[in-house]
Amino acid sequence: MIKINENYLKLQASYLFSEIRKRTDEFQEANPDRDIIKLGIGDVTRSLPKACIEAFHRGVDEMANDATFRGYGPEQGYGFLREKIAKADFQDRGADISADEVFISDGAKCDTGNIQEIFSTDIKVAIPDPVYPVYLDTNVMAGRTGSFIDGRYPGIIYLESTRKNGFIPDPPKENIDLIYLCFPNNPTGVTITKSQLKNWVDFARENKALILYDAAYEAFIQDDDLPKSIYEVEGAREVAIEFRSFSKTAGFTGTRCAFTVVPKSCVAYTGKGKTYPVHDLWLRRQSTKFNAVSYPVQRAAEAVYSEGGNAQVHALIQYYLKNAALIRKEIESIGYACMGGENSPYIWIDGKTDSWGFFDLLLKKAGVVTTPGAGFGKCGEGYIRISAFNNYENVQEALQRIRQSLSQ
């Protein structure tokens, strides 16, 4: 008899975005004339930078010619892309990362979801609340938790991010083995300072723990004092893995390209306490289960680092940040407290009521789709997330409608 992995049954039935879609579709069906503006799901809306598209086309043309055709590429990704990443994203910022520590992938979602399988199932895992749901669900699937009770999974240590701690949790008193951190944060939009991040690195070093640092929104950091990478913090190479993505940086959500950095000095331990390089485990995992990303896509990603690409990516980020600034300013001006929106595309709003109630109100009265904070964890209750990924004109229109409906 074929049996299922019953851990899947512990997962909450309605994944956040399918519930949002369901409510939005129902509303649209009942009100076919209403024009709905979506500021909910964090998907980009603007086309790929010109330099990326040109490189993408050249890559496709090479595939049409026997002399330049490429079959399977290196499982870790092509050297031309890994070299550029190591230099521009790390070495130029004083972070000691080399090309062979960079693993190209088809998304930070897959990597942040898959990475946990190289660690034992009986480790203690700490996950921020609220946070991007993939970290929690993949640990549930792997059997590291009990059944969902009262909004929580027993077995997980929740790092509560609330207004009280500025939505940045401190390291806890108890022992933890694996720590997920995400900055700039999805959904709260907050960023972490170097000294706050150093507290976590020190904690990991003292506890022989490992940090999984999701920096998918790093490109939105404008403030030079804020760390863009965890490797800008001394001592992080031994205790941290970092995830990056071209999705939000350069509009690759549909094209798919990301990367994960696993320093060669980063270690975990065997049951007997012997150190083991995590790089070897991830390389083994990726070369067994993954075949990297298509050649033209890696060429398109490489173009992000060209002179033209750099300027175009900068303009793209500035476009979304202009939306974010407007959203924050307008929502604050109608009397709602906001976080984020400064070095991040997300604005986290205290709705002064329950999350889904505020979501429904904005959908039905303003025709604007947002994301209920409760979908990101218990501590997200009472908040909604507004995303800056849309056209400026749509953002202006959405804010005007929100202002009208909230002052009625």
260 part of the interface to ligand PLP, by CB under 6 A: no
247 interacts with ligand PLP by CB under 6 A: yes
For the chain, the first-to-last Cα distance in angstroms comes to: 60
Nearer to ligand PLP, 257 or 366 (CB): 257
Based on CB atoms, which residue is closest to ligand PLP, 297 or 366?
297
Instruction: Return the residues of window 91-110 that contact ligand PLP according to CB under 6 A.
Output: 107-109
Shortest Å distance, C-beta 63 to ligand PLP: 23
- Is residue 184 at the binding interface for ligand PLP, with CB under 6 A as the rule? no
Cα separation, 73 vs 102, in Å, equals 15
DSSP 247-279: HHHHS-TTT--EEEE--TT-EEE-TTS-EEEHH
Shortest CB 134 distance to ligand PLP, Å: 7
The verdict on 182 binding ligand PLP (CB under 6 A) reads yes
Beta partners for residue 259, in sequence order = 104, 244
> Least distance in Å: CB of 379 to ligand PLP?
16
For residue 293, state whether it binds ligand PLP (rule: CB under 6 A).
Answer: no
Whether 226 and 242 have beta carbons less than 8 Å apart is answered as: no
Binder to ligand PLP among 20, 39, 40, 42 (CB under 6 A)?
A: 42
3-state per-residue secondary structure call for 343-360: CCCEEEEECCCCHHHHHH
Q: Which residue has the tokens 């083994």?
A: 284
- Range list of β-strands (E), 171-246: 178-182, 210-214, 240-245
Our CB check for ligand PLP shows the closer of 105 and 312 to be 105
Q: At closest approach, how far in Å is the CB of 376 from ligand PLP?
A: 10
Distance, in Å, from the CA atom of 369 to the CA atom of 24, rounded to the nearest integer, reads 7
Residue 89 Cβ, how far from ligand PLP at the closest point, in Å?
15
Q: How many Å apart are CA 266 and CA 274, to the nearest integer? A: 13
- Answer positive or negative: Cα dihedral of 216, 222, 226, 232: positive
The verdict on 89 binding ligand PLP (CB under 6 A) reads no
Residues 1-30 that bind ligand PLP (CB under 6 A): none
Residue 303 DSSP symbol: G
By CB under 6 A, tell whether 240 contacts ligand PLP.
no
SS3 at position 21? helix
From 186, 260, 294, 298, residue interacting with ligand PLP (rule: CB under 6 A):
186
Contact with ligand PLP (CB under 6 A) among 20, 233, 258, 324? 258
Q: Is 253 in the site for ligand PLP (CB under 6 A)?
A: yes
User: At which residue do the structure tokens 């950095």 appear?
Assistant: 261
- Write the binding mask 109 to 128 for ligand PLP: x where contact by CB under 6 A, - elsewhere: x--x----------------
Q: Is 245 in the site for ligand PLP (CB under 6 A)?
A: yes
Instruction: List Cβ neighbours of 103 (8 Å cut-off, separation of 6 or more).
Output: 76, 77, 111, 259, 260, 261, 262, 282, 283, 286
Please tell me the count of residues contacting ligand PLP according to CB under 6 A: 14
State both tokens at 110: 């897959």
List residues binding ligand PLP (CB under 6 A). Answer: 42, 107-109, 112, 132, 182, 186, 214, 216, 245, 247, 253, 258
